[in-house]
Amino acid sequence: MQSNELKDMANANGADVSPLERLVTFLRPDMDAVNAEITARMTSDVPLITNIAKYLISAGGKRLRPLLTLAAARSLDGDMTRAYGLAATVEFIHTATLLHDDVVDASHERRGQAVANDVFGNQASVLVGDFLFSRAFQLMVADGSLETLRILSDASAIIAEGEVLQLQMQRHLETGWEDYLQMIGAKTAALFAAACEVGAVVSAASPDLQKSLHEYGFSLGIAFQMADDLLDYAAEEEKLGKKVGDDFREGKISAPVLLAYAKADAAEKDFWRRTIGRGEQTEDDLAQAQQIMSRHNIIEEGLALAESYAQAAQRSLEPLPASHVKELLHQIAAYVVRRTY
Amino acid sequence: MQSNELKDMANANGADVSPLERLVTFLRPDMDAVNAEITARMTSDVPLITNIAKYLISAGGKRLRPLLTLAAARSLDGDMTRAYGLAATVEFIHTATLLHDDVVDASHERRGQAVANDVFGNQASVLVGDFLFSRAFQLMVADGSLETLRILSDASAIIAEGEVLQLQMQRHLETGWEDYLQMIGAKTAALFAAACEVGAVVSAASPDLQKSLHEYGFSLGIAFQMADDLLDYAAEEEKLGKKVGDDFREGKISAPVLLAYAKADAAEKDFWRRTIGRGEQTEDDLAQAQQIMSRHNIIEEGLALAESYAQAAQRSLEPLPASHVKELLHQIAAYVVRRTY
């Protein structure tokens, strides 16, 4: 039995279907339109660009960000044709940052596929990322709204700042919690916020509603990234679709590391300084890191923190008119924290 | 005596002053305004970004592209405040592509300084490039014209395509001349054209004049890049400010290589296939390549081709009203081909 069939059965039974899957099902015709837009706009006269773009499309991914644009627009009865173009734009910006992030991190697997730079070379990844980024701006210009251009060019600059912040924090165990929040706010939550906000713009929503959707996206993004950081130490590898422990091996400063370091005794501090601070790691160190985290209930502590952002996201939705999509967005905020992928 | 004093003396005497230097002198207050804009807009809350930006500013460079925007706007009596912002935008896009190009090429010197990626790391170069690129779009949004946004986002996408084309052509000696022209048109001439065209836009110029300036920039860019390709085999190293032979060592397909390969006898074909095609090079091979080119008068042949584009650029200027700046733009087209830096 194919996994898609299993999913369809789960849908039919109404059992074990996540709110995210329900939103995907509800917005399937919209997502199909976005995917068609993505395919149409990713092509280039330069075959290598089209090939890498196709490779990335086949990798798929959750398409969470364009889904947020669609949901925001649907929840406010917006102009869906504009939403399709902008949702594609948001996904292009995200894909460009992934391509550049993969080059930067020298990570080797993402979404369960080899990353593009291993297949096509670092050089092509940088340049195709630049192409997708430029193409995103071409799509925005075609949309013709300076407001969406402002929102997404601001988000793009903030993302780059967040990535540089992350680079600077690498291996620095003394990083403050506020600095960590600033970094994931820039690296991840800014695009979640922008994705939601442009959905409000194409709905000619009031400034207050536009702000509410921005804030929903931002808090959701923080919750999502924090949960992602936790999953890197806690997830089952097959479900995550990437290797557990990547962040550990790269010496990334993330929520579980900062929480564990704050609670560490002298021996544990030495452990973190050696493995994260100086990057001196042996085979058993990841298991050891997980044991230390387990001893201090770090994952549960982190999940509780992430949940507080999910709740903030839910509160931001209050001014929106009641709708099925609003209800699903509400549930998704809780879901992104407790997901196991 | 400082080199600046020497230059001032040369200015005073009117001797040995290139038309480019004369344009720089004529537009000095405008360029000062652009440089102030660049400095103000390159700053970020993230210190590493500001540091790399400062490093790039101190490297200076010719600022040829923003100068074209200023000259185009001045020649048509345009809105110079808008021209300053857009000139800064053009330089940001150019600097971002240089940063990414340096990562890609693993070259080690540019403008006589170590390239940024050697000093700050490849990772920072990719991300700061992304930041500058995003910042460029923020500046365009601040300008508020969808027309300039269209021109510069189109140019950005074309540049990325050109860079990928160059990557694909690397070591491919059978590359056709038309493909080479397409590549340098995308990689270099597209931004020259856009830089000139936005100068026309801020001058509310007629569509015909806008097109004329676009075409001037495009032909100038082709002439400039072709001459640049020739200089890599012909220039005196101190004047060029980068190592002669970089293109050769990287197996780049450029005008002199294609021209030399077309005229090569069997032994020379073997030489090019080994050194460029397979990248198997010894110490003496660059000198050997230069001797082969000298034997076939390749540099002069290439300069004649570049000159034909310079003349096309000059013809494109004809519809412009007579002015001192127009005269200098005319002379610069010839100058970029015969320059020695």
pLDDT single digits (tens) B141-155: 999 999 999 999 999
* Contact across the interface for A137 and B156, Cβ inside 8 Å: yes
- Between helices B146-169 and B122-143, what is the axis angle to 10°? 150
Q: B21 pLDDT exceeds 90? A: yes
Q: A109 pLDDT exceeds 50? A: no
Q: Which residue has the tokens 């889904």?
A: A67
DSSP secondary structure letter of residue A45: S
Q: Is B101:B120 a contact under the CB 8 Å cutoff?
A: no
Q: d(Cα B75, Cα B329) in Å, to the nearest integer?
A: 9
Nearest residue on chain B to A98, judged by CA atoms? B127
ipTM, interface predicted TM-score of the complex: 0.88
Residue B116 located in a structural domain: yes
Q: Is B199:B76 a contact under the CB 8 Å cutoff?
A: yes
DSSP secondary structure letter of residue A245: T
Structural domain that includes position A310: 18-338
> Does B124 contact chain A (CB < 8 Å)?
yes
Residue B322 located in a structural domain: yes
Among the partner-chain residues A153, A161, A163, the one whose CB lies closest to the CB of B141 is A153
Q: Write the CB contacts of B249 (distance below 8 Å, at least 6 apart in sequence).
A: B281, B286
β-strand B109-110 against B113-114: which pairing, if any?
Answer: antiparallel
Q: d(Cα A336, Cα A306) in Å, to the nearest integer?
A: 9
| Band of residue A1 on the pLDDT scale cut at 50, 70, 90 | very low
Q: Which residues of B140-152 are buried (b: 16+ CB within 10 A; e: fewer)?
A: bbebebbebbbbb
Q: Would you call A248 exposed, middle or buried from its count of C-beta atoms within 10 A (0-12, 13-18, 19+)?
A: buried
Determine the distance in angstroms separating the CA of B67 from the nearest CA of chain A, rounded to an integer.
23
Which CATH number do you get for residue A213?
A: 1.10.600.10
The residue-averaged pLDDT of B12-41 equals 87
Residue B165 located in a structural domain: yes
* Of B39-43, B301-305, B320-324, minimum mean pLDDT range: B39-43
CA distances to A92, B24, B80, B279 from B29, rounded to whole Å, are 40, 9, 11, 47
> How do residues A69-80 score in pLDDT, each as one tens digit?
999 999 999 999
Residue B54 located in a structural domain: yes
What is the total count of domains within chain A? 1
Using a cut of 0.80, tell me whether the model's pTM lies above it: yes
* Contact across the interface for A130 and B45, Cβ inside 8 Å: no
Q: Write the CB contacts of B332 (distance below 8 Å, at least 6 apart in sequence).
A: B19, B20, B23, B220
pLDDT of residue B43: 86
Question: How many residues appear in chain A?
Answer: 341
- Considering only CB atoms, which chain B residues are within 8 Å of A44? 161
Which parts of A170-297 fold into alpha helices (H)?
Answer: 177-184, 190-201, 207-234, 237-240, 246-250, 255-262, 266-272, 285-295
Q: How far is CA A198 from the centre of its chain?
A: 17
Q: Would you call B59 exposed, middle or buried from its count of C-beta atoms within 10 A (0-12, 13-18, 19+)?
A: middle
Instruction: From B222, B223, B226, B301, select the one nearest B260 (Cα to Cα).
Output: B301
Q: d(Cα B29, Cα B37) in Å, to the nearest integer?
A: 12
The residue-averaged pLDDT of A331-341 equals 87
The overall average pLDDT reported for chain A is 88
* Contact across the interface for A123 and B104, Cβ inside 8 Å: yes
Residue A4 located in a structural domain: no
Q: Which residues of A196-214 are buried (b: 16+ CB within 10 A; e: fewer)?
A: bbbbbbbbebeeebbebbb
* Contact across the interface for B144 and A149, Cβ inside 8 Å: no
> How do residues A91-101 score in pLDDT, each as one tens digit?
999 999 988 88
Among the partner-chain residues A49, A154, A159, the one whose CB lies closest to the CB of B138 is A154
| Band of residue A242 on the pLDDT scale cut at 50, 70, 90 | low
Q: Is A228:A219 a contact under the CB 8 Å cutoff?
A: no
> Does A122 contact chain B (CB < 8 Å)?
yes
The residue-averaged pLDDT of A263-272 equals 97
Q: B336 pLDDT exceeds 90? A: yes
Candidates B133, B147, B187, B252: best to mutate against A (most CBs of A within 10 A) is B133
Determine the distance in angstroms separating the CA of A233 from the nearest CA of chain B, rounded to an integer.
24
Q: Is A165:A42 a contact under the CB 8 Å cutoff?
A: no
Instruction: From A255, A257, A259, A179, select the one nearest A223 (Cα to Cα).
Output: A255
> How do residues A286-300 score in pLDDT, each as one tens digit?
999 999 999 999 999
Residue B150 located in a structural domain: yes
Q: Which residue has the tokens 């000095």?
A: B28
pLDDT of residue B60: 65
Among the partner-chain residues B44, B149, B167, the one whose CB lies closest to the CB of A161 is B44
The residue-averaged pLDDT of B177-182 equals 97
- Collapsing DSSP states into helix, strand and coil, what is residue B133? helix
| Band of residue B238 on the pLDDT scale cut at 50, 70, 90 | low
Candidates B153, B170, B171, B175: best to mutate against A (most CBs of A within 10 A) is B153
Residue A114 in tokens: 């080899």
> How many CB atoms are located within 10 Å of the residue B291 CB?
10
* Of A10-14, A73-77, A132-136, B93-97, minimum mean pLDDT range: A10-14
> Does B179 contact chain A (CB < 8 Å)?
no
pLDDT of residue B118: 52
Q: d(Cα B193, Cα B188) in Å, to the nearest integer?
A: 9
pLDDT of residue A203: 97
- Between helices A190-201 and A207-234, what is the axis angle to 10°? 150
| Band of residue A13 on the pLDDT scale cut at 50, 70, 90 | very low
Q: B215 pLDDT exceeds 50? A: yes
Residue B208 located in a structural domain: yes
> How do residues A191-211 score in pLDDT, each as one tens digit?
999 999 999 999 999 999 999
pLDDT of residue B15: 55
Candidates A137, A156, A158, A166: best to mutate against B (most CBs of B within 10 A) is A137
> How do residues B276-285 score in pLDDT, each as one tens digit?
999 999 999 9
Residue A2 located in a structural domain: no
* Contact across the interface for B126 and A126, Cβ inside 8 Å: yes
